[in-house]
Each structure stands twice: as structure tokens, then as C-alpha cells.
Structure 1
């Protein structure tokens, strides 16, 4: 456990990508089995403990510390595991810190009633870094700046360059902790794990944003165009070994969309976009959000928010790997697949016919009204390659919309931002029934600003807080005093869930408008006029 705790601490304090990979590789090289495999499972989010919950940690902390002091400390730090690790009172015990395997195995089998005593004993026997590692395992919030992809790159380096991270991705979903066969393969002690007919995830091909310089050099005749729909990218994997629906990030979302799984009565791996459709019309992304992260959707939920998959590509067909084929050939195979299988709940992405790039640009400019993010440009001869190979696929998104809004509330972020107020609620002016003007919240943003702007905003928020609501801070926001933020967003739609009646798609801070007073910010009517 000490080595794992040291890894988490150093990953948190290390900013560089290559340095993080080196830390991960050293851990995988030097730690024995099964600890390194368990550490890998923790880092990649493959561990979950049914009985141990954050509420258990909170209750333990409140029983050992002053509850009011704990509440204030938690509010300031912003991270439960870190707060408890720092506040836990020292006790002299004649026991060493637990081993990593011991912690994971015990959490999996210990009855819920015995967990408080077990966890308290571990915390009493451990220094602060080990306490923090134990608590992060329980709460499931490592937040150490090491993505699953970085872990797989570090694993690939164990092979001495003979195995790539994408090779690991090909077998990943057929493996289980503590990954003994994976390490044996990487270290040359065993064969490549064979997922056989298991429904494993394949690394997706991604697109680069099309910038002005890229557009100027684009050879239009070498590309085909498709609409870029405002849904979520999914991979449909249906094999003799099972059926799975994966998000672009390799999360298994099969349980969330059981009707899609029900329609996957074929042997193929497909790439597409998950959308909510009503009478053939794509609904706003906010409707799809109603379905996301729901483990067991009700029949009413599925009826109110009917989903459909718009297919872009085909990776495997009846066991044949089609990824080396050029896009045009894969597209023809996808059309044949649709004619042969006629899968319910799925349709084919439209290829846009345009005489030239200026005409295509005009189509893109009118895309917003149809809930379309923009265009995808795919080179006709491009194989399906993992990652983001430049020049093969381009995403040509429509320009964002903008409003000037007033900062109203702020809350601390998570992970590296847990000490900064980095989550912002902003509002626009509207006229009340009495005829007075007031600010009404219209959205939240937690991205788009620079580190320097974050420090500037954090300092201003601390010096201009007027009210506190738990972790939320209300800041000064009258017509003459406050901060104006330029908010960029992709779309606006009606919403009964928001007081303003409007929801924004992907709002982010464009820039600080320190040249404006709050009275100069936009009105709610301006945002409503941007609804399509």
C-alpha cells in the first residue's frame, strides 16, 4: 500500500505527461503481482466496492473529529478523502499499514456492519499518504491526472517497444484484475491474451478540428462529407460472445440503452452516433442527457426519449476485420450490411453531395437549425486507424454562439482545482413582473479560462463573497459591481428544468470582460432569440 500511496502522491504533483508515464511504468515494473494489477485496476476505474461508500468515511470522520470543524474543513479542501486523511487523529497502534491486496480483498468480502472498525484500524495504522490512498480507493475518486490511456501507454513500454497501447486496447475488455495474463504477455512470459469472441472495445478513429490553415490546403476532391450530429459517439459490438454498447471513452453503456442492445442481432462492430429522434427529427442534446447515466431506464423514459443509432462506419463484419480498407470500401460494406441485416433502431449517415468547398461551407453555416454540430470530412482512402491521425478525418464545427453574462455564484472544483473557485454560475438580465430588472441564472461553466484567469477569478470571488450556501458562494452582482464573462456555447434550447426556461449546450468561458460593467451584460431575451 505504501508504494501505491507514493505513486498517487507523485502523480498528483507531477504535471508532465512523459513524467507521469515514467512513474506508472516504474510502478508496474517494480511492484509484485497481484499488487501491480490491483493498482492498475484502481487507476483505470475497474474497482468498485458495494458496501464501502463515501457516507461511511464521512460518518467515521465525524465520530473522531469535531463535526463542525470537519464540515468547515471539508468545505475548504473540497475533497472528502483528502480532508479525512489530514484530519484523522493520530493513535499509537502496534500494527503496520495494510497491503494493497489486503485492502481490496477485505473491502470486497467484509460485511457492511464490520467495515467501520476495519477502516478505522487501517487509518490508525497508516501515515497521511497511505490514509489518503485507502480513502481514495473507497470513494473511487483518485483524480491524480493519470488517464486510462496513459496507463496503457506505460504498460506498452514494459514490452520494450514490441507492443503498442492500441494492441492493449484490443484485448482490454476481455481481461480482469489483477491482469496476470496481461503482464505475462507484456514481459514476454506468455502469449497475447485472446479475447476470442468476447465483445471487446476497439480504439476509435478520431478527427482533428479543421482550422483556417488546414481549410486553405484542403484537397476537396479527396474527401467525403457527413453531418456531425449533436449526440454521443458509440461503438456497437455484437459477436457470438455477447453484445455491448460502448461510449467513445470505452465505457460500457449497455444497461443504459437496452433497446439498442435488443436490436443488435448481428455479428459486426459498428461506429455511429446515438441520438434521440422523434418522427425522424433529431432532438436537442438536452433530451439525450435525460437518458445518460441511468442504469435502469423505465419504459416511460425509453418512450419519452426514444434513441436511435446513426451509423458512420463498420469495423468488423462477421469476424472479418475491415479497418485496413479505405473509407470508400468500408462505406460500401456498411451499405451492404444495412441492406442485409436491416437492423431496427438504426439508420445510415448521409453522405453530403456538394460541388465545391464554398457550397459545402454554406450548408455548414445553416446546420444549427437542424441540431447539427457541423460537418465531418473524411478522406476517401483513409483506413480506420486508432487515435487522431492528422489529415485523415476533420471535424468542421459551426462557430459558437456568445453572450455576455454576469458571474453570480461560484463553487470549488475537484482534484487539482479543489482549492480554487472554478465552477461558475452566471446570469442574464430580465424584467420581473414589477418592472424591475434582475439577474436570472442561465448556466454553469467550469472551462475555457486560463490558469492566470482562474487565479484572478478565485481572488476576486474570495474578496467579493456576500453570502454562503454550504459550498456555494454568492458574489456581488449588481448593475455597477461584479464581473462580466463572455460565455461561448454551441446551442440553446427550451428547458423546464431551469428557472430561466433556457438551457445551453456546452457553455464555457470565452474571456473575461473586465471592460464591461454588469449593467452592460446581455438580457435573457438575447439568449431566447438564439434558440432554434
Structure 2
């Protein structure tokens, strides 16, 4: 546990990607099995524990730490695990620090009633760094700036292989990954996924920039719409069908109707997951009603019918098509879909054009047609994992903007834990008594520089009018120009609306709050 705790501590204070990669790679090189395998599982989010950590910590802290001291400390630090790790008294139970594998294997088999005693004993045997690592492990919220792909990239670098090889094996492996490390260390053959429906890394696009157009020949590219859903991969191996997100997460349980439609086929397909009714694509917020659900009811499936609009085919009947040019894969996709005809799916149509000026006319119509933009794909491009340059480009529609008023601010996490960096903002409407009032319309925590963060943080501290735990209500006075992709009706928000992908575009220090936009402006965008 000591080495893993040291790793997490250093990752939290290492901002650069290459620095984080070097730390993880060195940990894998210096740490034996199964410790490094369990660490990999933690870093990639492959482990989850049903531990009521909040309740357990409240019970354990009560006789040790003054509740008001804890409340004030938690409010300042902004992270429960870090607060408890620092406040927990040292010099408790004697004994060596537990190993990471000991903690994980014990938690996985322990009775619920034994958990408080186990956690207490471990906290007493660990120092502050160890306590922090333990609590992060139990909560599953590491927040050390490491994605699952970054951790897998470190594993690939440790073994001297491409990360795509790791990702193609990943869903056929189980923690603590001793067979994976045996292969990477040269002690065993490459693990064989067999007939399991495993994920293949997706090919991604670059945003098209103004400077790109002069270098691109329209004759070299195919164009298609960029649909407003989520990118998915269907892997069908006869009766075993899986649906994966672009990050390789298995989301099959949320879309049993889709997996059923592809049963009995053998293919790996790339496409966009949408909600469709009568051949029309529904707004993205309807798809959200089915995302991140462990189970879905028959009524939900009927109300929000899922559909896959297919872009590409990677494997057909056990033949790997990825080395072929896109034009040839497209022909194979059309042939496969026409022959197999799975339900809940169709093909993304190609857009004919002679030059980029003609294509721009289609791009300008994207928002009016409820489409996210256009994709440009080089006709000769093979299907390559990751984001290779020069092959695929995404041309997203221009974002919408709105002037809103800052209402609430909350401390961030990690390096932002000392600053108010998460902002809830509102628009004006006429209240029940006829007076104007502000109602929340969105929340954003990106789009500003470090210097602007300091300026907004100072404004929040100087204009706080109410406290709600870690949240501060501020006097209406700061106008933010917010960019967002679209807006949809939402019963979960007081305003009745929800923005998609809001981010701070600029800070309007020059504009009075009274001149910010009204809710009716957003309602008009919904109608359009």
C-alpha cells in the first residue's frame, strides 16, 4: 500500500501527461504481482466496491474529531478523502501497513458488518498518504488526473507494445492481470481473447482548422453528417453481443434492444447511438434518459427506442477489414448490412459535393436540421486506432452563445480545490409577482484561463451572500458569455431547460447584470 500511496500522491502533483506516464510506468517496473495488477485495476476504474464510506467515516470520526473542525476543514480542502486522511490521529494500532492486494481482497469478501472495523484498523496502520490512498480506493474517485487510457498507455510502454494491442485485449482480461504482465515481461505468450466479444480501439477525427482547407483536395474525401448522439462500437459474436462506448466501456446493459437486434451476426461495427422515431433523430436529451442506467424497463425502451446509425465496419465474418481503404470498407458495410439486415440500425448516408464551397452550404444548414455538423474522411484511409493526422476531420457547427449571470460557485477538486471554479449561472425571467428574477440554466467549469480563475475567485469571495456547505451564493453582478452546443427541455431544472456542453466563452466585466439575456431567448432556441 505504501508504494501505491506514494504513486497517487505524486500523480496528484504532476500536471504533465508525460510525467504521469513515467511515474506509472516506473511503478509497474518496480512493483511485483499482484500489487501492480490491482493498481492498474484501480487506475482504470475496473474495480468498484459497495462500501458505505461516507457513513462509516462519519461513525469513525465522531469520537476522534470535532464535527465543526471537520466541517470547516472539508469545506476548505474540498475533498473528503484528503480531509479525513489529514485529520485522522496518528499513533493508533501498531503493525505494518497493509498491502494493496490485502485491502482489495478483504473488501471483496468481507461481511457488511465487518467493514467499519476493517477500515478503522487500516487507517490506524497507515500514514497520511496511505490513508488518502485507502479512502480514494474505497470511494472510487481518484481525481489524480489519470484516465483509463493513460493507465493502459503506461502498461503498453512498460511492455514495449502499442496501446492498441492492450485495448484489444482489455475486455478479455481480469484483475490483477497477471497473464497480461507475464506477456509484457516476456514470460508468457500474448493472452488469447478467444471468441469473446472484445472492444477494438476506435479511429478518431481532428477538428478541421482554417489552415487545413488549403492543403485538402475535395476529390480525396467522403463527407457525411456528424449525428448528435454518442459514438459506439457493436461487437457481435453469434449470440454474444456487446455495445461499447468510445472509451471502451461496456454499455450493453442499458441497451438490450440493440444487442438483441445484432444477435446471430459476426461483425465489429462503428456507428452513432441515437434515439429514433419514425425515421427521425430525437434530441440528444432523450438519449440521455437511457445512458448510465444499470437496467432499463420495457416502458423506457418503448418510450426511447435506441438505434445505431452505422459509419464503418472493422471486421466481417472474422475477416479484419481495418487495413482496407475507407471506400472499400464502405462498400463492404453496405453489402453486409443489406445481407444481414439487423434491426435498430441503418447506414449513415454520404453527402455528394464537388468542392468545399458546396459542402459549406450543407454545413450552414446543420443546426437548422438538428445535426451536430459534418465529417470529412479521406477515401484512402485505413482504420487506425487513436487520432492519426490527415485522415478524418470533424467540422462541427458553430456554438450558440448567451450572456448569463453568475449565481453560485463551488470549489473544484485536485489542484482547484482551493478555488471557486464550478459556476452555476442563470437568465432573467418574469416571476410570479411580476418582478424579474434569475433562474439557473446551466453549470460550467471550463473555458477560462488560470488568470481568469483567480479573478472570478476573488469576485466570489467578495460578493458571497449565502453559504450552502461548499457552495457560495453570490450577489448578481458578474456576467458570463457562455458557449453551448444546444438547449433542450428538462424537467430536472427549475428553468425547464438544459444546455448541452456549456463552457465559459468570455467574462463580461463590462456588462451590467441587468443586461444579461432572458429565459425567453433560450426558449426560442428550443423552438428553432
TM-score, L = length of structure 2:
0.97
1:272 corresponding residue in structure 2: 271
Secondary structure, aligned partner of 2:252 = coil
Q: What is the 5 A alignment of 1:152-171?
A: 152-159=152-159, 161=160, 163-171=161-169
Secondary structure, aligned partner of 1:204 = coil
Secondary structure, aligned partner of 1:173 = helix
1:317 corresponding residue in structure 2: 316
Secondary structure, aligned partner of 1:64 = coil
- Give the alignment partner of residue 236 of structure 2, picking from 211, 235, 238: 238
Contact 2:44–2:152 (8 Å) recurs in 1? no
Contact 1:271–1:312 (8 Å) recurs in 2? yes
Contact 2:219–2:354 (8 Å) recurs in 1? no
Q: What is the 5 A alignment of 1:363-378?
A: 363-378=362-377
1:466 corresponding residue in structure 2: 465
- Work out whether 1:101 is the aligned partner of 2:96: no
Contact 2:485–2:499 (8 Å) recurs in 1? yes
Q: What is the 5 A alignment of 1:326-475?
A: 326-475=325-474
- Work out whether 1:520 is the aligned partner of 2:518: no
2:479 corresponding residue in structure 1: 484
Distance in 2 (CA, whole Å) between partners of 1:63 and 1:242 is 52
Stretches of structure 2 that go unaligned for 5 or more consecutive residues are none
Distance in 1 (CA, whole Å) between partners of 2:129 and 2:219 is 58
1:141 corresponding residue in structure 2: 141
- Work out whether 1:530 is the aligned partner of 2:525: yes
Count residues with an aligned counterpart.
526
Structure 1 pair 313/59, CA: closer, same or farther in 2 (3 Å)? farther
1:229 corresponding residue in structure 2: 227
2:506 corresponding residue in structure 1: 511
Distance in 1 (CA, whole Å) between partners of 2:145 and 2:128 is 20
Structure 1 pair 240/282, CA: closer, same or farther in 2 (3 Å)? closer
CA-CA distance at 1:90 after TM superposition: 2.4
Contact 2:51–2:138 (8 Å) recurs in 1? no
1:286 corresponding residue in structure 2: 285
2:9 corresponding residue in structure 1: 9
CA-CA distance at 1:189 after TM superposition: 1.2
Deviations 1:351-388 (A, max 9, x none): 11123211211111111122210000101000000111
Secondary structure, aligned partner of 2:310 = strand
- Work out whether 1:495 is the aligned partner of 2:486: no
- More moved, 18-27 vs 415-424: 415-424
CA-CA distance at 1:83 after TM superposition: 1.2
Distance in 2 (CA, whole Å) between partners of 1:192 and 1:365 is 49
TM-score, L = length of structure 1:
0.96
Contact 1:62–1:70 (8 Å) recurs in 2? no
Distance in 2 (CA, whole Å) between partners of 1:441 and 1:50 is 33
Distance in 2 (CA, whole Å) between partners of 1:303 and 1:452 is 49
1:216 corresponding residue in structure 2: 214
Structure 1 pair 256/189, CA: closer, same or farther in 2 (3 Å)? same
2:196 corresponding residue in structure 1: 198
CA-CA distance at 1:139 after TM superposition: 0.5
Structure 1 pair 185/369, CA: closer, same or farther in 2 (3 Å)? same
- Give the alignment partner of residue 249 of structure 1, picking from 224, 234, 247: 247
Distance in 1 (CA, whole Å) between partners of 2:335 and 2:63 is 65
CA-CA distance at 1:515 after TM superposition: 1.2
CA-CA distance at 1:404 after TM superposition: 0.8
Distance in 2 (CA, whole Å) between partners of 1:497 and 1:177 is 38
Q: What is the 5 A alignment of 1:105-144?
A: 105-144=105-144
